[in-house]
């Protein structure tokens, strides 16, 4: 390890910021103001630092980059191992981008316990970045589970009226899945003798063992994605979470599942992956169609967007398991663009929630008369969510479907119906909130977006168009890693086949 | 650079007007606001006029000079074998589309200065118009299927925005959503078609797939649980997209509702340009369609059926714009069956002439609506021709062009005379079952076309005034800024057929089209079209005059007939008036069930079943067990002793059983 430990820096800088905030003492308003500034500065600088990753990233190699390795628990052969490849690097950037956005979005809307709130967010950033960088199973698990705590608190403390129910539901659901994953990790450790992720990727797990390991990981990842039918925690959590909590939840936490599939399930258990692909397809298609229809019936804006997230993540799981270049790249791209778009949509809801304290669709209508700039931004992200070409939403969905069509045309057919249904519920939402006459007394004085709010959206607006018009900036990062993933996958399957033949 | 400027100037104008939308002062400050509005109008119309000039230069350069070119801009999507670039591909087909799009668009831009005069959101309107034009140009200059899709969905967006332009009106919002969603259904097919093409060719660029298509003429593909002729599958799926965009039977329901948008929009998007994208697509993909007789037959049948369906409905509508909308739907059907019998160039020829005369009719109707204080119902018009003579004359020109009337001996007539005739002749000359189907339905539809066109003119302009006095007192000719564009379009409606005939479908056709359209030797319908029996050539004109005379009898000579007929054939009349009940059918089949299902899945699926059995159920069960476990700790020694005893018994039993085996 000769180079600068940039990944550790990006991972732990927020934690330092959190400690700093913790140390702030004095008058409540001053503390709050300081906490906000420190959180913004820390996360902002962290974002700039993470750009270094992007600029110095070598798109020609599939190997892990910016690696750091240090002894940690030598008895168990556990190391502190960090590194990123083309699959994980962009998620780090997504995280570091969304955190300052969240801090800025919470500037005025959080008034109680600002200090604790900002600490929770910075701790969460550490956990999230760590999760995407971790190359050791134990380390991964710690970060993976560690995220739960700050999120649990954010929903439970700063949430809406039913926050306690939602927080527990969120916590228990995700924890229940993770327990099984922990068991599987133990089993893997006993089989392979290491917890090092790259080593595990090369290790050939016995074919008989793979389905059990796969299912255990699946239990954890499926809850995170979330896949149907373990998705019901998500709408509740979103509805009760404060705006920024929803942003992180939809923008980053949901990607843990998809990332986990690509990092663990696919490369480590290829036989089981092939075996369970029909299951994934089925659940994903149900998710796409079922949750789209449910979204159509929603009366609560946040719930509608939460359900649309489930439907969009259904595309991700389909894409990942098509085992085609387009499918997997599409899945990653869909996760990234969904990270931006759904984050923005929750912020969009947050803007009017801050003013009216209602998420009911029926409480709005005709906002365009008072809030033209807001309407325009809402329109842009609505279209991105619908997957209009030229926005980030299109590229991911399209690639996933291209991949799916090659793997199984029925899957592509059913999944593609989500594109129609998506248009229906989003346009219907937009119409009810934005268009129509402005008749409600309560809305007569509603103000358009403030400069601070525009600053929150600006980076997301740029990004969603950039991702739509010139996706190569992002796709180029993944090419080699995805190709390598598929190559190893095929090789592992071929090896298993030879073994099976030899055994006969 | 020329191409780049022609395509991107409208985007620039759109952005500029878009910025003005936000800068403009409130409507109350009339003076200042007016300056902003004017600025927005010229910031969009200016670039568009320039773009039009460029498009004409390109047109002559490409079609006469033979300089077809593709300009690569930069990579768009690159993933595995899927490599797609942003590019501007200009060949004869594109060049024709470009002049139609830019010319009509420029005229509509200028016309809107007058028509939208009283509107509160002029910069926004102009911005949308230019945005639409940009997407449309991207569509026609695509060099691959995905950029085509980009433009395709982009014009859909612009159409959505413009139909819902008056967002205070619930009906406009509903129509906008309907247009977007129905088009999405078409695009769903389009997307699957793209995937099929990609699986077949490992590419989506036109050059590659067109070059490889002949080798794949007999290839099959495994999809949807069966093995099918690959190109047929691809073409049929792509055609679903074309049906959506061009409002063909089954996916047409959005077009009449789209008339909720301002009239200039109807002229530009829902008559002259966007809705013709489907025809453009089929013509562009002729190198694929040519290898699938099944797909071509489907195109023919769908086109011919739409032509007759829409014509029948058009005969009984009372809203002036809806009559023209159904007429558009019907004319698009003609263009499709022209493509279906491999007379693509005839289809595009009609597309071009139709673009002029239909835009003229719509803008003329707009002029009438303007004069009648926003009245659209023809039952409340009549007797106004003397008050607005220029509009009246222009409407006649448009209608005659639409009816396809002319003097057969001299071979002289307005635009539609040339283009519609050649389509019908080609259908006849195809000498196939579907060709005959298209020919006879086409002739019948031509009769109905003349009838409803005549009906429109007579009901609108002749007879007793049926509007109230206030409206009648206010009837006035439109200002010059509205009339001038109409004159340009009228010139097109008069002369486009005569001037274009030789190049588009006549003896210069091969040189004109270059390589942009492929027709196999086994599909010589267009060549044979010039050698059909005289009665075939005469039939459309005869029925055209017949229809016109009949409408004269019905609506001028003996105006009591229509009412009597409607009463006598009440069932048929209602069936037609309600547009064959398509809306009601779809509402019952798709819209209602979707909402019912959504609510059901939410309440019963997520609520009762998943949460009830899952987290909430487990939580309840845990509480129950805890309560019962709590009750066990009763404090009585004999309870604990009993429990211990049972435990010992169980253990021993288990030990014995497990060791016995």
Contact assessment for residue B195 and residue A412, using Cβ atoms and an 8 Å cutoff: yes
How many Å lie between the alpha carbon of B321 and the closest alpha carbon of chain A?
A: 23
Three-class DSSP category at A73: strand
Residue B82: its H or E element: strand B82-90
Q: Is B24 on the interface with A (CB under 8 A)?
A: no
How many Å lie between the alpha carbon of A484 and the closest alpha carbon of chain B?
A: 12
Q: Which of A232, A325, A437 sits opposite B80 (nearest CB)?
A: A325
Contact A294 B606 (CB under 8 A): yes
CA-only gyration radius of chain A, Å: 22
Residues of B in contact with A436 (CB under 8 A): 167-168, 170, 173
Q: Is B121 on the interface with A (CB under 8 A)?
A: no
Q: Which DSSP letter does residue A470 get? A: -
* Residue B310 to residues A2, B212, B272, B324, Cα–Cα distance (Å): 75, 38, 17, 10
ipTM entry:
0.90
Contact B153 A229 (CB under 8 A): no
Q: Is B195 on the interface with A (CB under 8 A)?
A: yes
Q: Is B563 on the interface with A (CB under 8 A)?
A: no
Convert the pLDDT of each residue in B61-113 to its tens digit.
Answer: 888 887 888 888 888 888 888 888 898 999 889 999 999 999 999 999 999 98
Q: Is A175 on the interface with B (CB under 8 A)?
A: no
Q: Where are the domains of chain B?
A: 2-577
How many Å lie between the alpha carbon of A195 and the closest alpha carbon of chain B?
A: 32
Mean pLDDT within B479-489: 89
Q: Is the dihedral of CA B460, B461, B464, B469 positive or negative?
A: positive
Express the helix, strand and coil content of chain A in percent, nearest 5 each: 75, 5, 20
Question: DSSP string covering B209-273, please?
Answer: HHHHGGGGTT-EEEETTEEEEHHHHHHHHHHHHHHHHTT-TTS-THHHHGGGS-HHHHHIIIIIS
Torsion of CA B142, B146, B149, B150, to 10 degrees: -80
> What pLDDT score does A1 carry?
44
Residues of B in contact with A468 (CB under 8 A): none
Q: Residue A437, by phi and psi: left (phi above 0), alpha (psi -120 to 50) or beta?
A: beta
- Chain A, 225-244: which have a CB under 8 Å from a chain B CB? 229-230, 232-233, 235
Contact assessment for residue A399 and residue A412, using Cβ atoms and an 8 Å cutoff: no
CA atoms of A118 and A38, how far apart (whole Å)? 9
Contact B615 A325 (CB under 8 A): no
Q: How many beta-carbon pairs below 8 A join chains A and B? A: 147
Q: Is B605 on the interface with A (CB under 8 A)?
A: yes
How many Å lie between the alpha carbon of B320 and the closest alpha carbon of chain A?
A: 26
**pLDDT cut 70: percent of chain B above it:** 99
Q: Which of B146, B173, B597 sits opposite A431 (nearest CB)?
A: B173
Among B17, B79, B195, B603, pick the best mutation site for testing chain A contact (most A Cβ within 10 A): B79
Q: What would you measure as the largest C-alpha separation in chain A, in angstroms?
A: 78
How many Å lie between the alpha carbon of A238 and the closest alpha carbon of chain B?
A: 15
CA atoms of A237 and A65, how far apart (whole Å)? 35
Here the tokens at position B58 are: 């390109």
pLDDT over 80 at B18, yes or no: yes
Contact assessment for residue A266 and residue A295, using Cβ atoms and an 8 Å cutoff: no
Express the helix, strand and coil content of chain B in percent, nearest 5 each: 75, 5, 20
> What pLDDT score does A504 carry?
64
Three-class DSSP category at A425: helix
- The end-to-end CA distance of chain B, in Å, is 89
**pTM score:** 0.90
> What pLDDT score does B660 carry?
61
Convert the pLDDT of each residue in B379-392 to its tens digit.
Answer: 888 888 888 888 89
- Whether cis (ω within 30° of 0) applies to the bond prior to A229 is yes
Three-class DSSP category at B410: coil
Q: Which residue of A has its CA nearest to B146?
A: A389
Residues of A in contact with B223 (CB under 8 A): 409
CA atoms of A137 and A127, how far apart (whole Å)? 14
Q: Which residue of B has its CA nearest to A401?
A: B195
Q: What is the pLDDT along chain A (504 residues), one digit of tens a residue?
A: 457 888 888 899 999 988 988 888 888 888 888 888 888 999 999 999 999 889 988 888 888 888 888 888 888 888 899 999 989 999 999 999 999 999 988 888 888 888 888 999 999 999 999 999 999 999 999 999 888 889 888 888 888 788 888 888 888 888 888 888 888 998 998 888 888 899 888 888 888 888 999 999 998 999 888 888 888 888 888 888 898 989 999 999 999 999 999 999 999 999 899 989 999 999 999 989 988 998 888 888 999 999 999 999 999 999 999 999 999 999 999 999 999 999 999 999 999 988 888 888 888 888 888 888 999 999 999 999 999 999 988 999 999 999 999 988 899 999 999 899 999 999 999 999 999 888 888 888 888 888 888 988 999 999 999 999 999 989 999 999 999 999 988 888 888 888 777 766
> What pLDDT score does B516 carry?
84
Going through B309-440 in order, the beta strands assigned E by DSSP cover 406-407, 412-413
Using the structure block, give the residue that is written with the tokens 């949807």.
B224
**Helices (H), ranges, B254-340:** 254-257, 263-267, 277-284, 286-289, 293-314, 320-340
Residues of B in contact with A294 (CB under 8 A): 598, 601-602, 605-606
Contact B173 A437 (CB under 8 A): no
CA atoms of B394 and B371, how far apart (whole Å)? 15
Convert the pLDDT of each residue in B243-274 to its tens digit.
Answer: 999 988 888 888 888 888 898 998 888 888 89
Q: Which DSSP letter does residue B477 get? A: P
Contact assessment for residue B579 and residue B256, using Cβ atoms and an 8 Å cutoff: yes
Q: Which residue of B has its CA nearest to A307?
A: B602
Contact B224 A230 (CB under 8 A): no
CA atoms of B312 and B300, how far apart (whole Å)? 19
Convert the pLDDT of each residue in B421-457 to its tens digit.
Answer: 889 999 998 888 888 999 999 999 999 999 999 999 9
pLDDT, averaged across chain B: 87
**What are B567-576's contacts with CB under 8 Å, separation 24+?**
B573/B316, B576/B312, B576/B313, B576/B315, B576/B316
């Amino acid at each position: 390890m000769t180079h600068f430990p940039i990944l550790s820096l990006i991972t732990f800088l927020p934690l330092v910021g959190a400690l700093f905030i913790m140390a702030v003492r004095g008058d409540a308003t001053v503390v709050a103001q300081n906490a906000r500034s420190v959180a913004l500065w820390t996360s902002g600088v962290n974002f700039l630092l993470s750009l270094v990753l992007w600029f110095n990233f070598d798109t020609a190699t599939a190997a892990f980059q910016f690696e750091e390795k240090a002894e940690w628990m030598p008895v168990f052969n556990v190391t502190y191992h960090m590194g990123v490849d083309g699959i994980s690097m962009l998620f780090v950037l997504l995280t570091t981008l969304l955190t300052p956005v969240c801090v800025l979005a919470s500037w005025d809307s959080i008034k109680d316990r600002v200090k604790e709130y900002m600490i929770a967010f910075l701790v969460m950033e550490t956990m999230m970045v760590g999760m995407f960088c971790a190359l050791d199973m134990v380390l991964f698990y710690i970060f993976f589970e560690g995220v739960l705590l700050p999120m649990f608190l954010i929903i439970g403390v700063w949430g809406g009226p039913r926050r306690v129910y939602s927080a527990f539901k969120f916590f228990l659901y995700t924890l229940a899945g993770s327990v099984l994953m922990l068991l599987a990790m133990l089993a893997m450790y006993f089989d392979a003798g290491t917890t090092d992720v790259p080593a595990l990727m090369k290790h050939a797990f016995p074919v008989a063992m793979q389905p059990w390991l796969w299912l255990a990981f699946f239990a954890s990842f499926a809850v995170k994605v979330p896949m149907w039918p373990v998705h019901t925690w998500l709408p509740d959590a979103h509805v009760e979470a404060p705006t920024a909590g929803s942003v992180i939840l939809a923008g980053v936490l949901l990607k843990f599942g998809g990332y986990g599939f690509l990092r663990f399930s696919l490369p480590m258990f290829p036989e089981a992956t092939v075996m369970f692909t029909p299951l994934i397809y089925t659940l994903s298609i149900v998710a796409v169609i079922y949750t789209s229809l449910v979204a159509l019936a929603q009366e609560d804006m946040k719930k509608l967007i939460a359900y649309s997230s489930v439907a969009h993540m259904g595309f991700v799981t389909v894409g990942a398991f098509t085992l085609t270049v387009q499918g997997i790249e599409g899945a990653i791209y869909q996760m990234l663009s969904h990270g931006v778009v759904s984050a923005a949509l929750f912020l969009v809801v947050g803007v009017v929630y801050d003013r009216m304290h209602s998420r009911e669709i029926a409480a709005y209508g005709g906002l365009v008369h008072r809030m033209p700039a807001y309407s325009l931004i809402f329109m842009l992200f609505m279209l991105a969510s619908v997957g209009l070409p030229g926005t980030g939403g299109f590229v991911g969905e399209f690639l996933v479907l291209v991949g799916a069509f090659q793997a199984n045309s029925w899957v592509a057919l059913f999944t593609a119906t989500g594109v129609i249904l998506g248009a229906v519920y989003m346009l219907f939402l937009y119409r009810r909130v934005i268009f129509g006459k402005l008749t409600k007394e309560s809305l007569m004085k509603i103000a358009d977006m403030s400069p601070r709010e525009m600053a929150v959206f600006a980076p997301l607006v740029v990004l969603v168009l950039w991702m739509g018009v010139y996706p190569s900036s992002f796709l180029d990062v993944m090419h080699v890693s995805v190709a390598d993933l598929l190559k190893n996958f095929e090789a592992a399957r071929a090896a298993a086949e030879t073994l099976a033949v030899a055994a006969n | 650079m020329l191409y780049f400027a022609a395509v991107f100037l409208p985007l620039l104008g759109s952005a500029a007007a878009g910025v003005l939308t936000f800068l403009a002062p409130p409507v109350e400050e009339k003076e200042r606001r007016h300056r902003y509005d004017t600025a927005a109008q010229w910031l969009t119309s200016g670039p568009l006029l320039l773009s039009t000039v460029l498009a004409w230069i390109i047109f002559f350069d490409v079609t006469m000079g033979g300089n077809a070119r593709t300009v690569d801009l930069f990579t768009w999507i690159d993933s595995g074998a899927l490599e797609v670039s942003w590019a501007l591909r200009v060949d004869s087909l594109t060049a024709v589309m470009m002049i139609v799009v830019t010319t009509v668009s420029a005229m509509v831009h200028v016309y809107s200065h007058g028509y939208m005069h009283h509107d509160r959101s002029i910069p926004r309107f102009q911005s949308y118009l230019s945005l639409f034009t940009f997407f449309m140009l991207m569509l026609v200059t695509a060099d691959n299927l995905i950029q085509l899709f980009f433009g395709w969905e982009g014009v859909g967006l612009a159409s959505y925005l413009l139909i819902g332009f008056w967002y205070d009106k619930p009906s406009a919002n509903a129509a906008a959503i309907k247009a977007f969603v129905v088009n999405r259904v078409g695009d769903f097919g389009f997307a699957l078609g793209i995937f099929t093409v990609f699986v077949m060719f490992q590419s989506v660029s036109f050059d590659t797939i067109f070059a490889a298509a002949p080798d794949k003429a007999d290839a099959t593909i495994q999809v949807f649980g069966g093995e099918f002729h690959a190109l047929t599958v691809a073409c049929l799926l792509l055609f679903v997209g074309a049906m959506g965009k061009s409002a063909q039977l089954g996916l047409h329901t959005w077009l009449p509702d789209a008339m909720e948008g301002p009239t200039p929009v109807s002229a530009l998007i829902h008559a002259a340009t966007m809705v013709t994208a489907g025809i453009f697509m089929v013509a562009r993909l002729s190198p694929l369609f040519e290898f699938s007789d099944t797909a071509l037959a489907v195109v023919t049948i769908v086109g011919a059926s739409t032509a007759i369906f829409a014509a029948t409905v058009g005969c009984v509508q009372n809203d002036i714009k809806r009559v023209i909308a159904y007429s558009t739907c019907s004319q698009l059907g003609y263009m499709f069956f022209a493509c279906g019998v491999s007379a693509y160039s005839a289809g595009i020829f009609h597309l071009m002439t139709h673009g002029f005369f239909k835009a003229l009719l719509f803008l003329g109707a707009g002029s009438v609506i303007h004069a009648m204080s926003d009245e659209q119902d023809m039952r409340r018009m009549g007797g106004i021709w003397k008050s607005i003579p220029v509009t009246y004359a222009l409407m006649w020109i448009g209608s005659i062009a639409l009816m396809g009337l002319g003097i057969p001996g001299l071979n002289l007539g307005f635009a539609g005379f040339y283009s519609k005739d050649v389509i019908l002749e080609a259908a006849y000359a195809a000498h196939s079952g579907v060709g005959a189907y298209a020919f006879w339905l086409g002739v019948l539809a031509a009769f109905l076309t003349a009838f409803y066109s005549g009906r429109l003119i007579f009901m609108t302009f002749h007879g007793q005034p049926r509007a109230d006095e206030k409206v009648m007192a206010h009837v006035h000719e439109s200002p010059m800024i509205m009339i001038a564009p109409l004159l340009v379009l009228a010139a097109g409606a008069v002369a486009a057929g005569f001037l274009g005939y030789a190049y588009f479908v006549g003896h210069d056709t091969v040189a004109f089209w270059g390589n942009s359209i492929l027709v196999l030797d086994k599909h010589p319908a267009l060549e044979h079209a010039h050698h059909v029996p005289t009665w075939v050539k005469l039939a459309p004109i005869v029925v055209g005059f017949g229809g016109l005379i009949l409408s004269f009898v019905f609506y001028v000579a003996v105006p009591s007939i229509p009412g009597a007929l409607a009463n006598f054939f009440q069932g048929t009349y209602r069936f037609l008036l309600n547009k064959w009940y398509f809306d009601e059918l779809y509402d019952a089949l798709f819209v209602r069930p979707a909402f019912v299902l959504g609510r059901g899945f939410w309440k019963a699926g997520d609520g009762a079943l998943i949460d009830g059995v899952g987290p909430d159920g487990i939580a309840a069960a845990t509480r129950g067990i805890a309560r019962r476990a709590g009750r066990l700790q009763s404090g009585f020694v004999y309870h604990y002793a009993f429990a211990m005893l049972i435990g010992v018994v169980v253990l021993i039993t288990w030990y014995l059983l497990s060791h016995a085996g």
